[in-house]
């Protein structure tokens, strides 16, 4: 257990440089119909250590999130907070800086997790690019199913959680 903790700490340290690559995100929540609900959801999201600031757009049910640049972003935690507040993530479009990390064979990694690009980008990607997570819990079920069903080949062994994204 202790060895695992040390390993995790080392992993955090070595991936520390990569933390700043997700800079912000547009989170659209479905089912929000009242001010109380939106405020409860935002307050719940703000308890996450990697969230710097949140600007709500109450007309479009969107939270514009700015991430802290010294903390790794955990997208599953975001989805969990929204669901605990009683709602669902309709879309999560996070901006990733591709200047230092490149997409190779439709994969890129961040904070110990692996991201699989679903709409096979042939042209090289660089700079700040919005990335939409299409996994269950981040998109409407039908959309998520459509993307995940495309995964025909056996996924190669990759570290961490594998997120599926569209660019």
Partner 1 sequence: MKHLLLALCLWAMAYSVFSQELYVSTEPASNMATNSLGIRVEDQGYFNPTYKNRETLELMYGASRHLMVHGSIYVSDYYENQQHFDGGSIYVKYRFLSVDSVQKHFRGAFFTKLSSINNPIVNQEITLEGDNSGLQSGFVFTQLLHKLALSGTVSYLHAWDNAGGFNLPVSNAKNAVAYTLSSGYLLLPKAYKDYSQLNVNVYAELLGKTNPGYGQSYLDAAPAVQLIFNSLIRVDFSYRIPLYNSMIRNTDHMYLVRLEYNLFNL
Binding site for partner 1 (CB under 8 A): 28, 30-31, 33-41, 43-44, 47, 56, 58-59, 61, 83-88, 90, 140
CA distance 111 to 74: 9
| Of 72 and 89, CB closest to partner 1 | 89
Cα(101)–Cα(82) distance, integer angstroms: 29
Give the residue from 47, 24, 54, 135 showing the smallest Cα distance to 89.
135
Instruction: Between 56 and 111, name the residue whose CB sits nearer to partner 1.
Output: 56
**Minimum Å distance from CB 46 to partner 1?**
8
Q: Among residues 60 and 102, whose Cβ is nearest to partner 1?
A: 60
Cα angle vertex 77, ends 71, 78, to 5°? 90
CB of 22 to partner 1, least distance (A): 23
């Amino acid at each position: 257990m202790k060895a695992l903790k040390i390993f995790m700490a080392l992993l955090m340290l070595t991936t520390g440089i990569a933390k700043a690559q997700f800079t912000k995100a547009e989170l659209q929540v479905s089912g929000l119909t009242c001010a109380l609900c939106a405020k409860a959801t935002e307050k719940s999201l703000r308890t996450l250590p990697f969230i710097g600031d949140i600007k709500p757009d109450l007309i479009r049910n969107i939270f514009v999130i700015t991430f802290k640049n010294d903390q790794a972003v955990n997208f599953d935690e975001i989805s969990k907070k929204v669901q605990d507040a009683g709602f669902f993530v309709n879309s999560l479009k996070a901006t990733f800086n591709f200047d230092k990390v490149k997409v190779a064979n439709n994969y890129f990694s961040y904070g110990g997790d692996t991201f699989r690009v679903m709409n096979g980008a042939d042209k090289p990607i660089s700079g700040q690019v919005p990335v939409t997570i299409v996994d269950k819990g981040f998109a409407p079920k039908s959309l998520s199913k459509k993307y995940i069903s495309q995964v025909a080949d056996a996924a190669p062994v990759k570290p961490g959680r594998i997120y599926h994204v569209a660019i």
